[in-house]
Chains A and B, each alone.
Chain A
Amino acid sequence: GENVEQHPSTLSVQEGDSAVIKCTYSDSASNYFPWYKQELGKRPQLIIDIRSNVGEKKDQRIAVTLNKTAKHFSLHITETQPEDSAVYFCAASTNTGGFKTIFGAGTRLFVKA
């Protein structure tokens, strides 16, 4: 079945460094790739997304890249801050035969001050 793999499961960086989280998806029909940030005890929040007709998208300190051929997409956070500490989930969505979103297992990011 459809699957989204996410790495690493845990990532610890020093404040000011960059963090990169990588995901791979299996369903070639996937055409929308959102990223969610979930702080402890809170709901997942959509922070950025990318569509299949775009290779890269940037929003201030965060950027996403997509390689459709390789079925890879990544989240890049630059100049990390302690408030970036959270669990990040990647996801892959298809819009054919009904809308469905498959989530990765999550990456717990720790930003050390």
Chain B
Amino acid sequence: SAVISQKPSRDICQRGTSLTIQCQVDSQVTMMFWYRQQPGQSLTLIATANQGSEATYESGFVIDKFPISRPNLTFSTLTVSNMSPEDSSIYLCSVRRGTSVEQYFGPGTRLTVT
């Protein structure tokens, strides 16, 4: 498995502001993903972070709201823009390495919007 870290681990933000979440992996990975997990709910894929190109977003998620960067094979950021209380959730980074199909998750960022 890969060692995945996320920063911040949690934050409380005012509505209308933006928060950028960082995901760092200890080694190069082929694929990086961002998920949202609302309280007591399952994992919903926001987007696949593509190295050197625009992220691929899932239905219901748009770049203006969730801009994503992936400048190299070990790092990605997710920004939650113009936040509202409905954005309160846990945001998780996930990776796949090489040709392996196993997918591993970071520790998550717990976001509360007031």
Residue contact B103 to A43, C-beta cutoff 8 Å? no
Size of the chain A interface, CB-CB below 8 angstroms: 23
Within 8 A of B (CB), among A64-113: 89, 93, 95, 98-106
Q: Interface residue count for B (Cβ, 8 Å)? A: 20
* Contacting pair A34 B42 (CB below 8 A): no
The reply to whether B104 and A46 contact each other, CB–CB distance below 8 Å, is: yes
Closest 10 A/B residue pairs (Cβ): A43-B105, A103-B43, A32-B101, A103-B42, A105-B42, A44-B105, A43-B107, A106-B42, A43-B108, A99-B31
Q: Does B23 contact A (CB under 8 A)?
A: no
A-B contacts counted at CB < 8 A amount to 45
Return chain A residues, CB-CB under 8 Å to B41. Answer: 105-106
> Contact at B31–A43, with CB atoms within 8 Å?
no
Cβ contacts A to B, 23 pairs, < 8 Å: A1-B59, A32-B101, A36-B105, A43-B105, A43-B106, A43-B107, A43-B108, A44-B43, A44-B92, A46-B102, A51-B101, A93-B101, A98-B48, A98-B56, A99-B31, A99-B101, A101-B45, A102-B45, A103-B42, A104-B42, A105-B41, A105-B42, A106-B42
